[in-house]
Structure 1
Amino acid sequence: MRRLILDHALLPEGWAQQVGVDIDGGTITAVRPHDTPEGRERVAGITLPGLPNLHSHTFQRGMAGLAETRGPEGDSFWTWRQVMYRFLGSLTPDDVEAIAAFAMMEMLEGGFTALAEFHYLHHDVDGRAYADSAELSGRIAAAVQETGMGLTLLPVFYAQGGFGAAAPGDGQRRFINDPESYARLLEGARRAVADLDDAVVGVAPHSLRAVTPESLRAVVALSGEGPVHIHISEQVKEVEDCLAWSGQRPVAWLLDHAPVDRRWCLIHATHLDSREVEGIARSNAVAGLCPITEANLGDGIFEGVDFLMAGGRFGVGSDSNVEISAPGELKQFEYSQRLKHRARNVLAEHEGQSTGRSLYDAALAGGAQVLGRRIGAIAAGHRADLVVLGADHPDLAAVSGDRWIDSYVFVAGKAAVDTVVVAGRDVVRNGRHVNRGAILARYARAMARILA
């Protein structure tokens, strides 16, 4: 049992002071505003529910910065992908674990407390399965043990190189499975996380270009009641190729041929027409937005205004991990809409509403929904995942209430994060992860070898 008293906290019903929080087994058992401090640990500062990160490829943290040199032709997602294939060509299981732990450490320091890891690196460098086909899923689980990150693990199904059953390329050989081998991988992943506290395993058909309609149905059938995540409509070329293959745009095809519902997370969904915008909203699926990565890759700008007006749900993720910041993803989302519409405070729903608060609330709800865990709120029955901002930070000290979140998202950013609690345990203190030294040293050794 841990008994806290929070100076200021954002509860489902709004801001409160002197909030007593009881935690047992990592779960909040009671929340009492205006409580007495006797017998409780004081948590000084401004406490927010921890934000879920609904999409990440942790191994890509190691290649951040390696694709920022202009090539001889127009650079795009597709040229970036070739850099990624070369980078992963020599990664060992130890490297995967070291990079994953470093990325998770930065996520926690940056205001994320739960992660949906879209994990598609499965095999050895020559494409052969490890003796334990879930070896690399186990390395993700080990990184979670070290960092304390909350986990939804999404083993990725990847079977082909493009629409129409195109053969996979050499760079994809570490990803490839058929439905039978994927089913074994999924069972291995469930065993790998069995000793983690409150971990969830879902399924992740990589994209429509990487599966057949038949294999998509087989993979979704393995999900049970768990989350289903898929990349969709990230690139214009993907839309064009899907139209050539099926006569439909990717999201339209998916909505017509798969049981898309609230368990589904449609990652990116950047290029949508009006019918697709409305279709996602009606399905109750969540749009998984990764605004920093989408900007870095030149993907395009999500139809944010129309989607929210249609009642759509969204969350944010760090994807390629080129920059890891929970408030930074929310800021980039809003700024992209400002550039698109040449207006300000575009994603706030009504006059007088805080844009930062609106973004934060929506990303909490959407992320929690598609991670399949009881997170995203300081409330009884939810995991005790808390992000505490320093009340003495110069950008927060002279404001209060929703302006704290506006200042966090648009001004101070992750530098305002002081303490992070996951499942009732402190994992970040004074802005630094409690195991930062060991994690950083191992990451540095791995990167020195990889880039030698």
Structure 2
Amino acid sequence: MAEADGAKPQSWFADHALLPEGHARDVLFQISDGRFTAVTPNASPAGAGRLPGIALPGFANVHSHAFHRALRGRAQDSDGTFWSWRERMYAVAERLTPDRYLELARATYAEMALAGITAVGEFHYLHHGPGGVPYADPNAMGEALLQAAREAGVRIALLDACYLAGGLTGSGHTPLEGVQLRFGDGDVDGWAGRFTRLAGSDTAVIGAALHSVRAVPAASIRSASAAAAGVPLHVHVSEQPAENEVCRAFYGYTPAALLQHEGALSRRTTAVHATHLSQDDVALLGGASAQACLCPTTERDLADGIGPALQLHEAGVRVSLGSDQHAVIDLLEEARALEMDQRLASGRRGRFTPGELLAALTRHEALGFPEAGRLAVGERADLVGVRLDSPRTAGSDPAQVLFSATAADVDIVLVDGGVVVREGRHRLGDIGRALQAAIEPLWR
């Protein structure tokens, strides 16, 4: 996955770093076998490699749909709602093959690495061929994503999604139709039989997802959750008011309450979006010690709304961040938006401390990598060097760099000790050109 230097002892030095205890100066990082063996502030460079600016832990992109990257700059002429945008997304999904998906996902994950992301949670539901016909390898699309992450140099949690119904109305669930046929496995046993054939590794976690209460009927939620026991479980929850309305109309529960009733809320559960939650929903998530992944740049692009991030945090829910449909791939912007959206909603500043924003930015535990996301001994040796001399960051207090830096300021990225990005360039070369080559054929 990473360059060979990740396997041999090495050292790196940064003038500034954000350590678990806060901002530190003159920090020497020593690495062996992809782990930090020493993190020493007030040290000398001692021949170590130099990290420009400030060293941060690797970022965790907890929610991604890699193929949505093809919609950036292609769907902004679509008025209306999330539901009208979804038709554009379905059009892209119809055209993807395993080979095309590999090409697009590899370039998308490389773009993430350029932005300081060292692990991605890929919420994967595009499983089969046209009409829902399985490929010779029924996990060909998932394997393409695993290969894409490996070649792009980032870790992945492949969150294989159970997707059984086409939607939900006040009268019940509707069948899969059109491109949705590519998403389904017939029933929970069909999904579990395919899902359990996927194999993980040290850099790839095989997790699970329930697409939503719209796509997984209540009668299947409990059995699907049980089939995924012991691995991360992610669910789209209350992204749209319409989802809440039909769930209440048919089941008499909010989506969060339905998941709780069916035993799908626990410490391993991540509620994605969680935009339109009631106070009772927030309490349910907190009581279950669940997590919530907010995707502010997507939620604003799709006019979803502003989620109750502060209330979730105060209820004990661990908040993480994702770039979802990739209108922007910049987790520094996602972290900043987490705070700024709460300022807009409350009329007050300082809703989250810089340390709390950094925790949300680096929530690798949501992806099944609990030993990542901190610049500390024993942790995976992910390092992100962010410049402090760019037009955006010049003059910033290093301790407040999350409020000034963008993905464009990421200069070097190490994943498990291996250099993936150096001087702002990915080891695969020109990622803009790779994205162009992957996306243009999908729109011809």
- Relative to the length of structure 2, the TM-score reads 0.92
Partner of 2:5: none
Q: Once the two structures are superposed, what CA deviation does each residue of 1:31-72 show, in whole Å capped at 9, x if it has no partner?
A: 22233432432323200011111000001101222222245x
CA distance in 2, matches of 1:176, 1:259: 20
| Residue in structure 2 matched with residue 264 of structure 1 by the alignment | 269
Describe the SS at the equivalent of 2:130.
Answer: coil
The corresponding residue for 2:310 is 305
Residue number among 358, 361, 382 corresponding to 1:360 in the alignment:
358
Answering whether residue 136 of structure 2 is matched by residue 131 of structure 1, we say: yes
**Alpha-carbon distance between aligned partners in 1 of 2:159 and 2:282, rounded to the nearest angstrom:** 25
Measured in 1, the distance between the counterparts of 2:382 and 2:427 equals 16
Q: What amino acid is aligned across from residue 136 of structure 1 in structure 2?
A: M
> Do residues 78 (structure 1) and 87 (structure 2) align?
no
- 1:311-350 aligned within 5 A: 311-345=316-350, 347-348=351-352
Aligned length: 431
Whole-Å Cα distance in 1 between the matches of residues 435 and 397 of structure 2?
38
Opposite residue 438 of structure 2, the aligned amino acid is A
| Residue aligning to 2:390 | 393
Is the 8 Å Cα contact of residues 243 and 249 (structure 1) preserved in structure 2?
A: yes
SS of 2:214's equivalent?
A: helix
Q: Which amino acid aligns with 2:219?
A: E
- 1:436 maps to 429
- d(CA) in 2 for partners of 1:185 and 1:243? 31
Q: Does 1:421 align with 2:430?
A: no
- Matched with 2:246 is 241
The secondary structure found in structure 2 opposite 1:97 is helix
What is the aligned counterpart of 1:144 among 149, 154, 178? 149
Would you say 1:183 and 2:192 are equivalent positions?
yes
1:66 aligns with 2:66: no
Amino acid at match of 2:267: R
1:385 and 1:40 map into 2 onto residues whose CA distance is 16
Contact 1:269 1:287 in 2 (8 A): yes
In the alignment, the residues of structure 2 paired with residue 171 and residue 76 of structure 1 have an alpha-carbon distance, to the nearest angstrom, of: 20
How far does residue 291 in structure 1 lie from its aligned partner after superposition? 0.6
Matched, 1:445 2:437: yes
- Structure 1 counterpart of 2:366, one-letter code: V
Give structure 1 stretches of 5+ with no counterpart.
Answer: 349-354
SS in 2 for 1:10: strand
Rounded to whole Å, the distance in 2 between the matches of 1:450 and 1:399 is: 42
1:352: which partner in 2?
none
Aligned AA (2:84) = T
TM superposition shift of 1:280: 1.1
- The 8 Å contact of residues 57 and 117 in structure 1, kept in 2 or not, is answered as yes
Unaligned runs of 5+ in 2: 1-8
Paired AA for residue 393 in structure 2 = L
The CA RMSD over aligned residues, in Å, is: 1.8
Q: Distance in 2 between matches of 1:401 and 1:28?
A: 22
Q: CA contact under 8 A between 1:105 and 1:436: conserved in structure 2?
A: no
The alpha carbon displacement at 1:259 in A equals: 4.3
**Paired residues of 2:336 and 2:402 also in contact (CA < 8 A):** no
Equivalent residue letter for 2:268: R
SS of alignment partner, residue 300 of structure 1: coil
Deviation at 1:440, TM superposition (A): 4.2
**Aligned amino acid, residue 418 of structure 2:** R
Aligned to 1:351: none
**Residue pairs, 1:102-251, within 5 angstroms:** 102-163=107-168, 164-177=172-185, 178-190=187-199, 193-194=200-201, 197-251=202-256
Given that 2:321 and 2:360 are in contact with CA atoms closer than 8 Å, whether structure 1 keeps it comes out as no
> What TM-score, normalized by structure 1, do the two folds share?
0.91
Report the secondary structure of 1:398's partner residue.
Answer: coil
Mapped to 1, the partners of 2:264 and 2:179 lie a distance apart of 31
Counterpart in 1 of 2:3? none
Q: Could you tell me which amino acid in structure 2 is paired with residue 198 of structure 1?
A: T
Instruction: Classify 1:26/1:308 alpha carbon distance in 2 versus 1 (closer, same or farther; 3 Å).
Output: same
Deviates more, 1:178-187 or 1:110-119: 178-187
Once residues 93 and 376 of structure 2 are traced to their aligned partners in structure 1, the CA distance between those partners, rounded to angstroms, is 41
1:88 paired to 2:93: yes
Shift of 1:296: 0.8
Structure 1 residues 5, 445: closer, same or farther in 2, change over 3 A? closer
| Cα distance in 1 between the residues matched to 2:127 and 2:382 | 30
CA contact (8 A) 2:159 2:209 kept: yes
Q: Secondary structure at the match of 1:203?
A: strand
d(CA) in 2 for partners of 1:449, 1:307: 41
